[in-house]
Amino acid sequence: MWLVVRFGGTPGKLVIKARIVRNNGKYLNWGQAFLRMLIPSIIISINSHLMQWNSIITWPSETHINSFMEMGRVMNEYGQPFATISDFLCIIIYIDILVILFNKKKRAIHDFIAGSYVITKKSLENNPA
């Protein structure tokens, strides 16, 4: 969130010279940045936590976890009962993508919630607020 508030974007957006701004062209404040990142973070967190929880309670006791790679393998092997929930969460992400494709200003659901826009840095310089 600090990057969004301070520099107007995540590392990927900064590399491609896109910025996340309010309707007046200024960078987001802390509240708006929090709202913008809340929905994607919740979706990713729920999915990840469910898989981790299920993996921990179902893997055999003789399995020793010595690295993150091993934990990932075990989560993949024993975390699958939540695949339906994962699929549902993915559908929400696809709906978000469809919202971007079918609105004129290419805003995602989290952009509408936070009142933000993703623009190119060049367009911000050409139209100062």
Model pLDDT for residues 91-117, shown as the tens digit of each residue: 888 888 899 999 888 888 888 988 898
* 105 within 8 A of 85, measured Cβ to Cβ: no
Question: Is-above-0.85 flag for pTM?
Answer: no
Q: From residue 79, how far is each of 43, 46, 47, 93 by CA, in Å? A: 16, 13, 10, 21
What is the average pLDDT across 12-33? Answer: 89
What is the average pLDDT across 10-34? Answer: 89
3-state class of 44 per DSSP?
helix
